[in-house]
């Protein structure tokens, strides 16, 4: 069963395969504790007054909290329209090396606890959702193959991304905190799924997730006959935040700029010796991998998301 991550109602900024990192100066290290995410990354909220009042008045359930780690990425560079006939497209496929599932699971559990505490500090009444998913309506959705209703078991969910989506991510792993109550769907029209539970139980629903990439691809046309594609280590994060209130109003918080992290965790592009997963721990489908120092990679990712979450909650609080 394909476990996709986010509702189609969640507003996310797509990162293209040819994206360039915001931190272009590799010798300059960003101190994420000093970053003004609201200003620098253009965080904006679309939260009607009724939703803000509901967040202050009614209990809130974090219906989903997830981290998607790309494990295999593919970039391409198509020949230019003015280049010579016969100049072909160039492709690059690379996997993430050196990062374990256990490290990412521990990270998502830490981030979830931090986010929950931030919301409580902001004045929200956070409920764990155990009683909500035992209701007759939630139980009626439990066996729906396009939804997830229940308790996360702490295992990473592997997902292959269809080439037709146009994404540079080919394979990914989805992590949720072990024991977290999840109520989410990936139906094309998911409105009733969220609205009816929220309305019946007079509870706000918040879904938040982070899609993490580890590489970027830069294409270059040189003259009439050369078509090049460069692969770089580049940590980037795409957040997706959705809110539903008991009156059925959908809201979201949008991060308007790509968030690119420091690349000190990268140890170079290496040729993998096998395809059995022994090198990377996640995916093993490509001949080359971006080798990562796990401690530095996890620390950088945690530092970014921890500070980002504080800004997200501050924006939420301003609209309550």
Q: What is the pLDDT of residues 111-145, one digit of tens each?
A: 999 999 999 999 999 999 999 999 999 999 998 88
Residue-level pLDDT at 165: 62
Q: How confident is the model at residue 225 (pLDDT cuts 50, 70, 90)?
A: low
Q: How confident is the model at residue 295 (pLDDT cuts 50, 70, 90)?
A: very high
Q: What is the mean pLDDT of residues 211-239?
A: 78
Q: How confident is the model at residue 318 (pLDDT cuts 50, 70, 90)?
A: very high
pTM for the structure as a whole: 0.86
Return the half-sphere exposure (C-beta side, CA atoms, 13 A cut-off) of residue 184. Answer: 28
250-256-259 Cα angle (round to 5): 120
Q: How confident is the model at residue 244 (pLDDT cuts 50, 70, 90)?
A: very high
**C-beta separation of 225 from 217 below 8 A:** no
State residue 43 phi and psi, 5-degree precision.
Answer: -75, 125
16-18-23-26 Cα dihedral, nearest 10 degrees: 140
Judged by average pLDDT, the poorest of 39-43, 192-196, 231-235 is 231-235
Residue-level pLDDT at 12: 33
**C-beta separation of 109 from 178 below 8 A:** yes
Q: Which residue has the higher pLDDT, 177 or 189?
A: 177
Residue-level pLDDT at 69: 96
Residue-level pLDDT at 309: 97
| Helix/strand/coil (H/E/C) assignment for every residue in 253-271 | EEECCCEECCCCCEEEEEE
Q: How confident is the model at residue 231 (pLDDT cuts 50, 70, 90)?
A: confident
Owner of token pair 């360039």: 20
Owner of token pair 């929220």: 198
Judged by average pLDDT, the poorest of 108-122, 142-156, 271-285 is 271-285
Task: Round the average pLDDT of the chain to a whole number and report it.
Answer: 83
Return the half-sphere exposure (C-beta side, CA atoms, 13 A cut-off) of residue 269. Answer: 14
- Single out the residue of 47, 63, 45, 67 nearest to residue 55, CA to CA: 47
Alpha carbon distance 226, 54 (integer Å): 58
Q: What does the chain come to in residues?
A: 320
State residue 81 phi and psi, 5-degree precision.
Answer: -65, -25
Q: What is the largest CA-CA distance in the chain?
A: 65
Is 60 exceeded by the pLDDT of residue 8? no
Residue-level pLDDT at 190: 83
Q: What is the pLDDT of residues 36-73, one digit of tens each?
A: 999 999 999 999 999 999 999 999 999 999 999 999 99
- Single out the residue of 76, 101, 74 nearest to residue 285, CA to CA: 74
Instruction: Give the list of residues 6+ apart from residue 18 with CB closer than 8 angstroms, or none.
Output: 75, 77, 216, 217, 218, 219
Residue-level pLDDT at 220: 64
Exposure string for 128-143, b = 16+ CB within 10 A, e = fewer: ebeebbeeeebeebee
């Amino acid at each position: 069963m394909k476990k996709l991550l986010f509702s189609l109602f969640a507003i996310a900024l797509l990162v293209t395969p040819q994206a360039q990192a915001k931190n272009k100066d590799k010798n300059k290290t960003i101190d994420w504790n000093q970053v003004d995410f609201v200003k620098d990354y253009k965080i904006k909220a679309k939260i009607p007054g009724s939703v803000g009042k509901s967040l202050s008045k009614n209990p809130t359930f974090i219906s989903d909290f997830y981290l998607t780690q790309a494990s295999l990425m593919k970039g391409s560079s198509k020949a230019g329209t003015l280049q010579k006939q016969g100049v072909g497209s160039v492709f690059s496929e690379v996997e993430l090396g050196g990062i374990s599932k256990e490290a990412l699971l521990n990270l998502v559990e830490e981030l979830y606890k931090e986010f929950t505490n931030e919301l409580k500090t902001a004045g929200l009444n956070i409920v764990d959702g155990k009683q909500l998913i035992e209701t007759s309506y939630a139980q009626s959705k439990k066996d729906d193959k396009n939804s997830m209703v229940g308790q996360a078991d702490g295992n990473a969910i592997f997902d292959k991304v269809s080439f037709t989506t146009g994404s540079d991510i080919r394979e990914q792993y989805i992590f949720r905190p072990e024991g977290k109550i999840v109520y989410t769907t990936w139906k094309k029209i998911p409105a009733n799924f969220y609205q009816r539970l929220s309305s019946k139980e007079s509870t706000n629903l918040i879904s938040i997730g982070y899609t993490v990439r580890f590489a970027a691809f830069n294409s270059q046309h040189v003259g009439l006959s050369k078509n090049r594609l460069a692969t770089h280590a580049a940590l980037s994060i795409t957040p997706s935040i959705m809110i539903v209130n008991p009156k059925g109003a959908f809201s979201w918080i949008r991060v308007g700029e790509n968030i690119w992290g420091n690349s000190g965790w990268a140890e170079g592009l290496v040729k993998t010796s096998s395809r059995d997963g022994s090198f990377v721990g996640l995916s093993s489908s490509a001949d080359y991998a971006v080798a990562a120092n796990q401690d530095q990679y996890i620390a950088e990712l945690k530092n970014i998301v921890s500070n980002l979450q504080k800004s997200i909650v501050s924006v939420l609080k301003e609209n309550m």
